[in-house]
Amino acid sequence: MISEAASLLKKHYGYEQFRPMQAEVIQCVLDKKDSLVLMPTGGGKSICFQIPALLLQGLCLVVSPLISLMKDQVDALNSNDIPAAFLNSSLSFKEEEDIIFQCIHGKIKLLYLSPERLVQELKRLLPRLPINLFAIDEAHCISSWGHDFRPEYTQLKLLKEHFPAIPLIALTATADKTTRKDIIKQLNLQNPKVFVASFNRPNLSLSVKPGIKPKERIKDIIAFITKRQNEAGIIYCLSRQTTEKLTDALKAKGIKAGAYHAGLTSKERNNTQDNFINDKLLVVCATVAFGMGIDKSNVRWVIHFNLPKNIEGYYQEIGRAGRDGLNSDTILYYNIADLIMLTKFANEGNLAQINLEKLKRMQQFAQADICRRKILLSYFGETPLGNCGNCDVCENPRQHFDGTVLVQKALSALMRMNEKVGTTMLIDVLRGSSKGELKLNAYDKIKTFGAGADISFAIWEQYILQMLNLGLIEIAYDESFTLKLTDSGKEVLFGKIKVDLVQPPIKIDVTNESKIKNTKKIYSEKNIGDDLFEALRKLRKQFAEAEKLPAYIIFNDATLREMATEKPLTEDEMLSISGVGQHKFEKYGQAFLNIIHELSYGISTKISKANTYEETLQLFLQNFSPDEIARKRNINVTTVYSHIAHLYLKDDITSIEKFIKMEEINIIKSAIAKIGDVQKLKVIYDFLNGKLDYFKIRLALAFIEKNLLNKIVINAVS
C-alpha cells in the first residue's frame, strides 16, 4: 500500500519522497484507525489525508474553518488532477446539486465543508455519501484551551456517535499538551495514534529587535523591504490603526501594500487577500485575523510590529513564511509599551490567568539570550541538540557582565521617587533629562539624577526589560503602570546579591538589518540562475492570469528555483524536479522547458516557430476557439492569442474583430499616444491599470501596426 502511496505522491504532486511522519500517518489511516497529527504550518499535513483519500474507495470529507482556504485547497488539488470540491454559501443551488451528485457517484475524492455545514448534513446528506474518512483540519479550534476556539467546532463530537466505524484524522499546528488531550476528548477519538512531527522550521531565520520605537520600526521595515524586490511578506500589528498607518507609509515609498483588519468590510478584506495571493500586493499589514485563510507558499518574510500575545500565535504566524521550504526571514519588534498594552488585554478576558502565563513565556522568548530556536522547540516539548545558527542570538552571541551597580542605580532612583513612576520617567531621571515634568516633581534633585547619562534611552529600556525578566522589579498594572521593587530587587539594592546582565546586541542599529548569514541556503541564493528564475516566474504569472489561479498553485517558488538551478533539458529531467507531477508537466512542462532551453543553452525555439503558427492556424481555420486551441495544443492561451496576432499581421487571418472591440483598440491607441511610442505590452498594461488583458493589447498592437502599414501602402500608391 505504501509503495502505491509513494507512486501517487510522485504522479500527482511530483514529490520524490514523503516527509518525516507522512508515511506513518497514511498507513495508520489506511488501517482505519483514528489519529491526531501535530505538524507545524507548512509541514505537509494535507498529504496525510489526501493520499489515503486517493487510495481508499469512496469519499473523504474534510472539515475546514474558512471558505477561502477551501477554495485554495480545492484549486490546488484540481491542478494536480485530483477530483475535489467544496460546499459552501458561495455556490448556487444548481452548483451544489451537481457536486452532491458527483459525490454520490464516486466522481469526487475529497469534499471540503465547514463544521456548521457538516453538522447540518449529519442526518441528511452524510448517510447518502460513500464516506471513507473524516479529516478535521485546524482541529485545535475545538478546544477552548487552544488560542483560536470556535464554538461551531464542538458539534463535531457527533461524528463519532453517528459514524463510529469511519476513521477520523484530526490535524493541527498547535501542539501544547493540554490542547492535544482536549482535542482527543472533544472529538471522542477511539484509541487514537498521536503523531507529533518536529516543530522545527530550520528555513525560517528568527530575529528579535527590542526597544525600538514605532517610528523607527517603520524606517527599519522600509529599509528591509527595499532590499527584497518582488518578495512577498506579512506584517502583523496589534491595532487596526497601526495597520493603516504602516500601509500608508509603505505606499508612500512605492511599496505595493494593503491593510487587513476586522474593521474593513468583508469585500475589502477578500480583495486584499486575493491581491496578495495573486502577487498584486506584496505586503499586507494585518491584525492577527490575516493568514489563516491562505496557503500562499511563497511568503518570504513575516514581521511582528508588536509583541504577539503568546508563543503559539507567534509560531503559527511566522510559520506562514517559507512554506515552500526556501529560506525566509522573520523579525519581531517590541518594547515595554507593547508589554504593558498586552498585559492589559490579557487581564481583561475570562481566561486571565492562562493568558498572562502565556504572555510571560512570550516575553521570555523575546528577551532571551540563548538560541531562540532552542526556546521555541522546548516550548513545544522538543529537546533540540545544538544551537541553530540561524537566529540573531546565534549570530551575535550575547556578552554577560556584572550589572550590579547599574541595576542599583536604577533601583535607587526608583526608590527615591517612591515607586510612583513608569519606565519613561525612570529612564529620563537616570539620564538627567531636562524635561519640565521632572522639575515639577523635583526629580532633578534626587541623588541618582543623571547617574546613567552615559547610556542611551534604548539601551536603558533593554536593561529595564531584563530587570523585569529577572524579577527585580514589576509593573503595577493597577497603579498606572508604575514600577515597583520586588523583594529580590531590594536585596540587590542593599548589596546582598549580585546581578548578571546581558550586553544588548550591537547597539540596536535600526537601519542596519540583522545580517543573518545562512549556512544552508537551499536554491535561494539571489545570484543562482536569477535571470532564468525571473523568466520562469513571468511565464508562471501568464499561466496564472490566464487560468485565474494563484501563481504558487501552478508551481511554487521552490519548484521554480530548482528548475533554474537544475536546468532540466528533457521531459524526464523536468519530471524529476520536485513539484512537477504528471498532470502539471503535460499542461505546462513544454513551455517551461522552452524558456530553459532558450535562456540557458542558447537553443532558440525559433526554428520550430513556423510550425507552431501553422498548427494554430489550422485549428483556427477549423473554427476552434483560442481556449480550445490552447487545450488541444497544451499551450497557454496567451500564446495562442500571440499566434493569432502574428497570423493576422501576415494576412493568414483576415479579421480579429471577434476578440477585440474597436473602442478597446482606441483606448489602447490613446494610451500609446500618451506614453510615447513605447510599445511594450507591460508598459501599456500597467498604464491601463490592468483594465485590458494582455491578449487584447497584443491584438490591438497588431491591428494598429497592420493599419499603419496599409496606410503607408495606400499613400505610396496614390
Among 61, 371, 467, 656, binds Zn ion (CB under 5 A): 371
CA–CA separation, 316 vs 38, rounded Å?
Answer: 12
| Number of helices followed by number of strands (H, E) in the chain | 33, 17
Task: Identify which range of 331-339, 380-388, 406-414, 704-712 contacts Zn ion by CB under 5 A.
Answer: 380-388
Least Cβ distance, residue 384 to Zn ion (angstroms):
9
Judged by CB under 6 A, does residue 328 bind ligand ADP? no
Q: How many alpha carbons lie under 13 Å from residue 191 in its C-beta half-sphere?
A: 7
CA–CA separation, 44 vs 629, rounded Å?
Answer: 36
The interaxial angle of helices 626-633 and 609-621, nearest 10 deg, is: 130
Given Zn ion, ligand ADP, none, residue 554, with its beta carbon under 5 to 8 Å by kind, binds none
Q: Which is nearer to Zn ion, 200 or 612 (CB)?
A: 200
CA–CA separation, 66 vs 69, rounded Å?
Answer: 5
Q: Which is nearer to ligand ADP, 41 or 328 (CB)?
A: 41
Burial of 228 (0-12, 13-18, 19+ CB in 10 A): middle
> CB count, 10 Å around CB of 105?
9
Q: Which is nearer to ligand ADP, 42 or 504 (CB)?
A: 42
Judged by CB under 6 A, does residue 293 bind ligand ADP? no
Is residue 537 helix, strand or coil? helix
CA–CA separation, 140 vs 313, rounded Å?
Answer: 12
What track of x and - describes contact with ligand ADP for positions 43 through 62 (by CB under 6 A)?
xxxxx---------------
Among 388, 483, 549, 702, binds Zn ion (CB under 5 A): 388
Hey, what's the cell of 66?
A: 474558512
Given Zn ion, ligand ADP, none, residue 391, with its beta carbon under 5 to 8 Å by kind, binds Zn ion
Cell 498507513 sits at which residue? 27
Given ligand ADP, Zn ion, none, residue 47, with its beta carbon under 5 to 8 Å by kind, binds ligand ADP
Q: Which is nearer to ligand ADP, 41 or 423 (CB)?
A: 41
Task: Identify which range of 16-24, 248-256, 435-443, 486-494 contacts ligand ADP by CB under 6 A.
Answer: 16-24
Size of residue set near Zn ion by CB under 5 A = 6
Q: Which is nearer to ligand ADP, 323 or 696 (CB)?
A: 323
Task: Identify which range of 38-46, 222-230, 443-451, 498-506 contacts ligand ADP by CB under 6 A.
Answer: 38-46
b/e per residue 69-79 (b: at least 16 CB within 10 A): bbbbbbbbbeb
Least Cβ distance, residue 707 to ligand ADP (angstroms):
48
Given ligand ADP, Zn ion, none, residue 409, with its beta carbon under 5 to 8 Å by kind, binds none
Task: Identify which range of 12-20, 182-190, 469-477, 663-671 contacts ligand ADP by CB under 6 A.
Answer: 12-20
Q: CB–CB of 647/702 below 8 Å?
A: no
Positions in 473-492 near ligand ADP (CB under 6 A): none
Q: Which is nearer to ligand ADP, 6 or 104 (CB)?
A: 6
Q: Which is nearer to ligand ADP, 77 or 429 (CB)?
A: 77
Is residue 501 helix, strand or coil? strand
Q: Which is nearer to Zn ion, 23 or 368 (CB)?
A: 368
Judged by CB under 6 A, does residue 195 bind ligand ADP? no
Instruction: Classify strands 473-476 and 482-485 as parallel, antiparallel or unpaired.
Output: antiparallel
Judged by CB under 6 A, does residue 42 bind ligand ADP? yes
Among 72, 295, 545, 664, binds ligand ADP (CB under 6 A): 295
Q: Which is nearer to ligand ADP, 63 or 619 (CB)?
A: 63
DSSP code string of 576-635: TSTT--HHHIIIIIHHHHHHHHHHHH---SGGGHHHHHHHHHHHHHTT--HHHHHHHHTS
CA–CA separation, 639 vs 592, rounded Å?
Answer: 13
Judged by CB under 6 A, does residue 557 bind ligand ADP? no
Instruction: Classify strands 131-136 and 473-476 as parallel, antiparallel or unpaired.
Output: unpaired
Judged by CB under 6 A, does residue 323 bind ligand ADP? yes
Among 29, 36, 38, 39, binds ligand ADP (CB under 6 A): 39
Positions in 17-36 near ligand ADP (CB under 6 A): 18-19, 22
Given Zn ion, ligand ADP, none, residue 394, with its beta carbon under 5 to 8 Å by kind, binds Zn ion
Positions in 591-620 near ligand ADP (CB under 6 A): none
- 132's enclosing H/E stretch is strand 131-136
The partner residues of 332 in beta bridges, in order of sequence, read: 208, 304
Among 139, 391, 426, 501, binds Zn ion (CB under 5 A): 391
Q: CB–CB of 217/285 below 8 Å?
A: no
- For the chain, helix, strand, coil in percent to 5 are 50, 10, 35
CA–CA separation, 520 vs 524, rounded Å?
Answer: 9
Q: CB–CB of 354/149 below 8 Å?
A: no
Given ligand ADP, Zn ion, none, residue 489, with its beta carbon under 5 to 8 Å by kind, binds none
Least Cβ distance, residue 124 to ligand ADP (angstroms):
29
Judged by CB under 5 A, does residue 394 bind Zn ion? yes
Among 93, 101, 90, 97, CA closest to 129? 101
Task: Identify which range of 160-168, 365-373, 432-440, 479-487 contacts Zn ion by CB under 5 A.
Answer: 365-373
Q: Which is nearer to ligand ADP, 39 or 637 (CB)?
A: 39
Secondary structure letter of residue 135 according to DSSP: E
Given ligand ADP, Zn ion, none, residue 556, with its beta carbon under 5 to 8 Å by kind, binds ligand ADP
Instruction: Using CB under 6 A, list all residues that contact ligand ADP.
Output: 13, 15, 18-19, 22, 39, 41-47, 295, 297, 323-324, 556, 578
